[in-house]
Structure 1
């Protein structure tokens, strides 16, 4: 069974709230400190992207189970302008905000599974999963 909690992303404090939720759920599931940090970093990046580029959206955290395996799924979604060139934003070093450009490629590296759906004018949905080792 999947248990889901969501945080609406409207302002910068919501990024902090989403990070905290993710860390708490990761801790409850039994993730180690290093994986908790990876999950928290991924959530921070996804929530910040929603805030910067879409204005608002939500980050949902789900506990997921596959047989004996347990994990955490993050679903970040917005109805912002969308991403016109997904391949470009998935390149290391690409940045539109003047940041380090670790962005979405960084999220993909931190997590075990990563899927992005987006089109111009229709918002973005990113689903990423981390399994307990």
Structure 2
């Protein structure tokens, strides 16, 4: 049985650890190389956002099973400043850090399911899922 893994994001090196955990779990679940890369890229973006915008937070990796499918659920949670305009943050090219603005919209495209909730002054939660047929 694959166990739930949690990576605390507190320093830049933790982004690498989160990427490794994402790749390990996706491999254990049986995802091919392309989906492993998609999951790893999504994790990297989520972890980087926590580090850049909130300073600290955590990413949880959880194996999931539903309707003859298995997959991975990844939750990125922080208690940072929150996102003022989620709709705008989901637009390609929008950035507040001077980057490419591909992070959150890119994560949404890479994964099969995407949920985001953010409250200014409270924090942000992003939950994504990637499915793999048994």
Q: Which moved more, 1:96-105 or 1:53-62?
A: 96-105
Structure-to-structure mapping, 1:62-81, within 5 angstroms: 62-81=62-81
TM-score, normalization by structure 1: 0.97
Instruction: Say if 2:104 is the partner of 1:113.
Output: no
| C-alpha distance in structure 2 between counterparts of 1:110 and 1:86, whole Å | 18
TM-score, normalization by structure 2: 0.96
Residue 103 of structure 2: aligned partner? 103
| C-alpha distance in structure 2 between counterparts of 1:79 and 1:53, whole Å | 10
| C-alpha distance in structure 2 between counterparts of 1:46 and 1:22, whole Å | 11
Tell me the matched-pair count: 133
Residue by residue over 1:98-124, the C-alpha shift from the partner in whole angstroms, topping out at 9 and shown as x without a partner, is: 111111000000000000010100100
For residue 48 of structure 1, report the CA deviation from its aligned partner: 0.2
Residue 11 of structure 1: aligned partner? 11
Which aligned segments of 4 or more residues in structure 1 are displaced greater than 2 angstroms?
Answer: none
Structure 2 unaligned regions, length at least 5: none
Instruction: Say if 2:43 is the partner of 1:43.
Output: yes
Q: Does structure 1 conserve the Cα–Cα contact (< 8 Å) formed by 2:2 and 2:28?
A: no
| C-alpha distance in structure 2 between counterparts of 1:122 and 1:95, whole Å | 20
| C-alpha distance in structure 2 between counterparts of 1:22 and 1:86, whole Å | 25
Q: Does structure 2 conserve the Cα–Cα contact (< 8 Å) formed by 1:79 and 1:124?
A: yes
For residue 2 of structure 1, report the CA deviation from its aligned partner: 8.0
Instruction: Say if 2:38 is the partner of 1:57.
Output: no
Change over 3 Å in CA distance of 1:25–1:43 after alignment to 2: same
For residue 128 of structure 1, report the CA deviation from its aligned partner: 0.3
